[in-house]
Structure 1
């Protein structure tokens, strides 16, 4: 099972020029760890990424959860 997203997600984690393209659940997990507030959406996204890595969930589930957490954290630039 692949942990790669069908479509990458673009987030902006720092200043105006620091966009990152997120290609898979590993990248998503790294970004989620950098979100300072522990919200329910962030927790759900982390759990979804871990489930994909363990083979317990499909990658689109983790991608949707990551997009929701990124949107809530106001770092989502392109979905």
Structure 2
């Protein structure tokens, strides 16, 4: 069974970031992992909150669970 999407998904992580084309399940999982890692970095004091928020909003949009921003 292929893990490639029939049609790629295009996402933009931040308002000023370039678009990223997601071709398969592995790419999608990587994006979600990046959001989780960003949140953990803030909790450890290694990053600022806006970085994690952008990553989390992106993941929520991809999961179709974002209700407001």
Q: Normalising by structure 1, report the TM-score.
A: 0.48
Quick check: 1:10–1:78 contact (8 Å CA) kept in 2? no
Q: Any unmatched runs of 5+ in structure 2?
A: none
* Cα drift, residue 55 of structure 1: 0.6
Question: Which structure exhibits the higher relative contact order, with contacts defined as CA atoms closer than 8 Å and separated by 6 or more residues?
Answer: 1
Question: Displacement, 1:24?
Answer: 30
1:8 is displaced (CA, Å) by 30
Is the alpha carbon distance of 1:16 and 1:56 closer, same or farther for their aligned partners in structure 2, counting shifts above 3 Å?
A: closer
- RMSD of aligned residue pairs (Cα, Å): 11.2
The two structures have a TM-score, normalised by structure 2, of: 0.54
Residue aligned with 2:67, SS: strand
Larger Rg: 2
Runs (4+) of structure 1 exceeding 6 A deviation are 1-30
User: Is the 8 Å Cα contact of residues 5 and 24 (structure 2) preserved in structure 1?
Assistant: yes
Structure 1 residue 4, shift from structure 2 partner: 36
